[in-house]
Structure 1
Amino acid sequence: MSEYFDDVKKYDGGADEAVVDRIVKHLGIALRNRDSANVAASDKTELDRVVANWCGKKLGVTGEAAESAVAAAAKTMAADRSKSRVTFYYLVAKELGKLETL
């Protein structure tokens, strides 16, 4: 768990460990596989899935706001070759102002 929290703190020094823990629990088994534990930000299908499933179903945000938040997270993490799904989802939720709802 601390590895996820440490990665999130690279982008948000004031990150709440409880929020990161809830994201980890939400992702569950997906984090066991290296491929699914990361977000392929260069893959449009992958980003569309994040918009639909994370933004739409979990956070209740759709449309341009969701797409914009996903694009902002991808831009923020552009320097990371492997983009942790936990960190990516955290940044999307933060961009949408939804951290407190997790």
Structure 2
Amino acid sequence: MDRHEYDSTVAALNENGWTVTESRFDQEAFGSWFAVFLRGRSTFRAVWDGRNRWLFLQRKHRSWFRRKWEWRNVSVSKTPNEQSLDRLISRVGRL
């Protein structure tokens, strides 16, 4: 994924009813990026690992054991077919 795909992902999340609260693209870290987005009481984060070329979808979860909020993987997409914008939007729409 490149800067254009990052921008498209953030725009598509906003257009599909999610509120993007934080996002960052880092060209120096192999083009890695993340976007935190929410709707209602659900908070998610999409993370692109530019080095390994993996896309993570994570949900914010309250750990009662550690007494803090943590990110838990909902899915890890390792192939280009799994990493399309349409698949990401579809996946978060079902959660």
TM-score exceeds 0.5: no
Rg larger in structure: 2
TM-score by length of 2: 0.30
Larger strand percent? 2
